[in-house]
Amino acid sequence: MKTQLLESLLYEEESPTLDFKKEQYPFSKATEEQKSELVKDILGFANAWRRSDAYILIGVEEVRGGKSEVIGIQNHLDDHTLQQFINSLTNQPVRFHYEAATIEDKQVGVIRIEQQTRPIYLKKKYGKLDKDKVYVRRGSSTDPQKPATLDEIAQMRVEPEDIDANLAVVFSNPDTKELIGSHLSIEAKLYNLPPSYSIPSLPDSPRNSYGFYSTSMYRTNHQYYRDLAHYIYVCKLFRPVRLSISNVGRVAARNVRVEFSVNSLMQIEMLEKEDLPQMPKKQSLGPELNLNRMRLNRSKTPGSVCIKQTAHQLTVEIDCGDLQPGRRIFSDVFYIGKKTENCDNLIGAVYADNLSSPSELTLTISASLSEYSLTVEELMSRG
């Protein structure tokens, strides 16, 4: 089982394809009444209408609206024993698997239920479950008091039409996550900076009365005023942005990815949060390492933003994981700086494993700019 897939499931809510269990199911030495809870959940997922595998994560507590908490478990169920137990009760074999996995250095159990021919039901009464009743998961639960109706059972034998996922991408408020739409209008200040060569370097500290530079463990940042000019430029021009990616269709979308590009002629710049410049310092203990740039091992979670820059184009990539129908995720915050007031279209595409072809994406950005000129004297007075 891929750890990246399991970690992405932590950001989703319970649904017809996902359930969280804080504790392990009672099995060894358990009563029929206790073990029938496990039977009910597996049958409910097996009979549910879905277009992807379903998962039960054991040792995880759901956190609605956020990342679910990994609690961990001490013991695992044996897959072979579990297979024999379930399939001895049902009218046909159930295709599922139990695996042990590690998330955040904690042991969890994973039951994966495949898509399969339905309906599946018990050949005899077991615990709290009745013979010949078709138990089905609807939404985030399987209610044993509400088995499938005759109409639902009839539909189970009909293969759903081959339709694509339907994904929508719009801008949203970076703080409140309120949806804005496909057109983003930003207000910013565009500072015209003096040429770099005209900005003086910060001198070393003055010599003492003996003619020597004072000894200090601190080093002078000779680029201070140039760094300050860049810091002012970015802080005044760039604005935070977030995207909403949602599945508005009836089919689960697997491995969703959003990509769009910006041509260098558009006068648009973009930065990841980690690339925002820090307020420069005149003195430091030594060369400062930008730890934010060391991202070789940075794990990707749903909504992760990656911005790539080439000589003529800037590309934004957002990994979204799997999206069930009705599910929405928000991208990480990133930053846009637009140096012209005209409207520009960002052209891209939305990809998914079960999309027959990429879905076209168009987002529009306009800006209201106030222009300022910053002289060398003003820059040095600010420093």
User: Hey, what are 318's tokens?
Assistant: 């957002």
DSSP-assigned letter for residue 196? G
Examine the domain organization and report whether 146 and 188 are in the same domain: no
Q: Which of 258, 268, 348, 338 is nearest to 309 (CA)?
A: 268
Inside any domain, residue 252: yes
Looking at the chain, the whole-number percentage of residues with pLDDT higher than 70 is 91
Q: Domain ends where: 101, 131, 156? A: 156
Q: Are residues 363 and 217 in the same domain?
A: yes
Bridge partners (DSSP) listed for residue 331: none
- Please compute the mean of the pLDDT values over residues 73-99 and round it to a whole number: 94
188 falls within a domain:
yes
Q: Is residue 294 part of a domain?
A: no
Q: Does pLDDT of 21 surpass 90?
A: yes
Kindly state whether residues 149 and 182 are assigned to the same domain.
Answer: no
Question: Strands, E, within the chain: which ranges?
Answer: 18-21, 54-58, 60-61, 69-70, 96-103, 106-113, 167-172, 179-181, 183-192, 219-220, 239-247, 253-263, 268-272, 283-284, 304-309, 313-323, 328-330, 334-338, 344-351, 359-373
Question: How many structural domains comprise the chain?
Answer: 2
Radius of gyration of the chain (CA): 28
In a domain, residue 275? The reply is: yes
Q: Identify the residue with better confidence: 66 or 272.
A: 272
Instruction: Supply the angle between the helices 79-87 and 32-47 in degrees, to the nearest 10.
Output: 80
Q: Do 240 and 355 fall into the same domain? A: yes
| 356 plus 232 within the same structural domain | yes
Rounded Cα gap, residues 38 and 29, in angstroms: 14
Last residue within a domain, chosen from 130, 156, 182 = 156
Other Cβ atoms within 10 Å of 321 Cβ, number: 24
Range of the domain at 62: 3-156
Residue 151 shares a structural domain with residue 41: yes
pLDDT for 116 beyond 90: no
180 lies in the same domain as 308 = yes
Residues 147 and 183 in one domain: no
* Structural domain ending residue among the three candidates 99, 124, 156: 156
Which residue type sits at 213? Y
Give the pLDDT of residue 163: 58
DSSP 64: T
Does 25 share its domain with 145?
Answer: yes
One domain for residues 265 and 376: yes
pLDDT at 166: 82
Q: Indicate whether 162 belongs to any domain.
A: no
Alpha helices by DSSP H, 141-260: 150-156, 224-237
Provide the CATH number for the domain around residue 247.
Answer: 2.60.40.10
Q: Does the residue 117 lie in any domain?
A: yes
- Residue 96 belongs to some domain of the structure: yes
Residue 367: pLDDT over 70:
yes
- Give the β-pairing of 179-181 and 54-58: unpaired
The pLDDT, as a whole number, for residue 174 is: 94
Predicted local confidence at residue 213, as pLDDT: 54
The residue with greater pLDDT, 313 or 238, is 238
Distance in angstroms (rounded) separating the CA atoms of residues 90 and 36? 12
Q: Which residues pair with 190 in a beta bridge?
A: 371
Does the residue 293 lie in any domain?
Answer: no
d(CA 46, CA 114): 7
Query: Could you read off the pLDDT of 215-238 as tens digits, one per residue?
Result: 566 788 889 999 999 999 999 999
Q: How confident is the model at residue 303 (pLDDT cuts 50, 70, 90)?
A: very high
Mean pLDDT of 329-351: 93
Res. 297: pLDDT tops 60: no
Task: State the average pLDDT for the chain.
Answer: 87
pLDDT for 215:
56
The answer to whether the pTM exceeds 0.85 is no
Whether residue 206 is predicted with pLDDT greater than 70 in this model: the reply is: no
Same domain, 76 and 98: yes
**Mean pLDDT, range 346-374, rounded to an integer:** 90
Q: Yes or no: say if 67 and 10 are a contact pair by the CB < 8 Å rule.
A: yes
Number of helices (H) and strands (E) in the chain: give both, helices first: 6, 20
Average pLDDT over residues 43-51: 90
